[in-house]
Amino acid sequence: MKRIFSTTLLSGVLAAGLAFSPVSSASTSYFQQFGGIAGTRSMVNEFVNRASADPRIAAYFAHTSIPALKAALTIQFCNLEGGGCKFNMNMHAIHANLGVTQAAFNALASDLTRTMDQHHIPMAAQNNLLAKLAAMEPEIVTK
């Protein structure tokens, strides 16, 4: 299966990014393919370590509480993978003053992709998460 990587293509098409939805068998299996909550936490841990050390975007995270970011992203990804976690943070409000560029957004997406590859996450589960994150791009990219 081909990887979905175009952030702009999917923007606006998938609008339901943060809405809590009932657990379906397909989405449950995505969550399972990430290794449930323990696998998601482990993947997020490495993803945030990678992103916050990535010279393309590290400056954005200079004053961020990394443990808090890891905790929030674990819940958010669990929610997006169909794991049933409740997540209702406002992405626009959180990122409004950060000056996130399209290049920074793409760099973060590539860090996530590398991390998911290293965790051997199946392509369909990767694409599901990437598509849902791509749909949030208009709320996050402000510059």
Segment near ligand HEM (CB under 6 A), from 24-32, 39-47, 68-76, 120-128? 68-76
Residue choice 10, 44, 108, 131 for contact with ligand HEM (CB under 6 A): 108
Determine, following the binding rule CB under 6 A, whether residue 4 of this chain makes contact with ligand HEM. Answer: no
Which of 21, 11, 1 is closest to 81 using CA atoms? 21
- 80: tokens are 């997006």
In whole angstroms, how close is the CB of 119 to ligand HEM at the nearest point?
18
Q: How far, in whole angstroms, is CA 68 from its chain's centroid?
A: 15
The site map against ligand HEM for 28-57 (x = CB under 6 A) is: -----------------------------x
**Alpha-carbon distances, residue 93 vs 17, 84, 98, 134 (angstroms):** 15, 23, 10, 17
Burial label for 11, CB within 10 Å (0-12, 13-18, 19+), is: middle
Contacts with ligand HEM by CB under 6 A lie at 57, 60-61, 64-65, 68-69, 72-73, 76, 89, 94-95, 98, 100, 104-105, 108, 133, 136, 140
